[in-house]
Structure formats: C-alpha cells, structure tokens
C-alpha cells in the first residue's frame, strides 16, 4: 500500500491524495457497516392469533389461540397471564421457568399448562421452538403483565 505522501510514476499529486483519501473513507465506512451488522438485534418472537372468541355462557371470558415462533436463543421477560394457558410444542423445545418450581423442558409433541397469574418465563436453545398456545383469558385485560 502506498503511504499518503507517495505517488505512482506519472500520477499527479492531487489525484494521488484523492485516491488515498478515498481508501481511508472506504475503510471507515466498512468498519461502521460491520459494527452495525454485528450489533443488529436477533430475530424476534412471531405470534399469529388464530382465534379470539368469547366463551358462550361464561361472562367475561374468552379463548385466544395463537401460533408462536420462538427463534433460537430467545429469552422471554418474566410475566404472567390473567387466565390459564396451555401450549403444545409443534417443533423444537422450550424451557419453562416458574418461580419456586423446577425448570421444565417441553419438546416437540408435548403439552403443558400454566395456571392463571403464575409468574413465568420461557427460553429456547439452539433450535428455537414453534408452539400453539391456547389461553382462557379474562376479556378486556392485557394478554400478559410484565414483572421485574
């Protein structure tokens, strides 16, 4: 590589300086773009509500059925739901943590439930997970409450 003050034979000093500054600018842009790519967020959890219906004969209750995709290495925040939650693991696996209880690893083909208002979190490993979640929900309330 040429030093900033050197020129090639037959090249004028201004074009040599311009070329060198162009190289410096390109190297700087490359390092900025590289840092941005390294710090970009990982894929997020994707949820698709398949059904949300009132439960006939039970005032103030509804059913929510969702298909949820958890990317690899996902860690959910601690939270709770106002109603009971059931989930079926379609593929992959998810670790369910509930305060005061041992962790539970649920893999493909397994069904689990979480009682209403139980504080919990979930995390995935290398594979991520695909779930169908069925909630008996209190109508008019948020689907989940975050906890510290």
Instruction: Delimit the domains of the chain by residue range.
Output: 1-40, 46-146
Q: Using CA of residue 114, residue 63, residue 66, residue 83, what is the dihedral sign? A: negative
Q: Which of 10-19, 37-46, 80-89 has the lowest mean pLDDT?
A: 10-19
Region of residue 140 (left: phi > 0; alpha: psi -120 to 50; beta: else): left
CATH-assigned architecture of domain 46-146:
Sandwich (2.60)
pLDDT in tens, 55-84: 999 999 999 999 999 999 999 999 999 999
Which one is predicted more confidently, 142 or 19?
A: 142
- Residue 63, token pair as written in the block: 């059913």
């Amino acid at each position: 590589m040429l030093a900033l003050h050197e020129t090639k034979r037959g090249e004028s000093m201004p074009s040599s300086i311009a070329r060198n500054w162009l190289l410096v600018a390109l190297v700087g842009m490359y390092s900025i773009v590289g840092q941005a790519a390294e710090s970009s967020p990982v894929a997020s959890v994707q949820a698709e509500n398949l059904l949300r219906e009132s439960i006939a004969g039970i005032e103030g209750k509804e059913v929510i059925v969702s298909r949820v995709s958890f990317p690899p290495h996902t860690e959910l925040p601690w939270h709770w739901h106002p109603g009971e939650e059931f989930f079926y693991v379609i593929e992959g696996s998810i670790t369910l943590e509930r305060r005061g209880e041992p962790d539970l690893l649920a893999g493909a083909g397994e069904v689990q439930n979480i009682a209403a208002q139980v504080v919990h979190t979930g995390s995935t490993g290398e594979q991520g997970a695909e779930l169908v979640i069925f909630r008996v929900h209190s109508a008019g309330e948020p689907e989940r409450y975050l906890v510290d």
